[in-house]
Amino acid sequence: MIDEKHQKKGSEGTSTLIIFIALILVGVVAASVIIQTSSSLQSKSNDVAGQTEEKVTTSLEIMQFYVNGTQDAQINGGVDLFSVLVRTMPGAPAIKLDQVYVKFDTVEDSQALTYFLGASATDATYSAEYVIRGNKYKEGYLSKGDVVKFDFYTTNGSVLGEDVSGSIRVITNSGAVRMADFRTPLAMIGSVTYLYP
């Protein structure tokens, strides 16, 4: 004959065991969700970190921005030549010049300029001339130690007078942007007018 007292204890032990197994299963499912989420977040953070590093390290520095031919107190589009001196930021890898874009904006005009090897200065393309060739110089690239001068013209027929503001942006294909705001002087009397710095 089965002792009723022991049978009651056995049925209580079985229900406790079922609850315990259920808690373990819930814990396993929760742990797998947390591991999967953390793995996904780590992957995304690595992607973002790589993109951020690329934007920071593949950027340029605008050293100087000036225009030639301003002795007539105005900047004539298609006649007066703009020049931008650029170099890579410290730690940046070489950048292909045909992957660098120049955006020139004033209140009256906006231009987007591109480059291809051997390009002449126009109002749609800029030419590139190596002012300084670094020890890692390679034609068509802006490498460590290089200083390159981009030349271009503003839209033919446009005129920029004195005390006019604008901006120039140099953009790499990675999305890194270097911008320089400028204002033409109140008196442009020399043949060269420096706009930045």
Full DSSP string of 122-179: -SSB-EEEEEE--TT--TTEE-TT-EEEEEEEPPTT-EE-SS-EEEEEEEETTS-EEE
Q: What is the pTM of this model?
A: 0.70
Structure tokens at 174: 């990675």
Round the CA-based radius of gyration of the chain to a whole number and report it. 32
CATH number for 159: 2.60.40.1200
Into how many domains does the chain fold? 2
Name the residue type at position 37.
T
Rounded CA-CA distance 70/53 in Å is: 40
Q: What pLDDT score was predicted for residue 4? A: 61
Based on the fold, state whether residues 36 and 118 are members of the same structural domain: no
Q: What pLDDT score was predicted for residue 65? A: 96
Q: What pLDDT score was predicted for residue 40? A: 79
Average pLDDT over residues 33-39: 86
Whole domain around residue 19: which residue ranges?
1-57
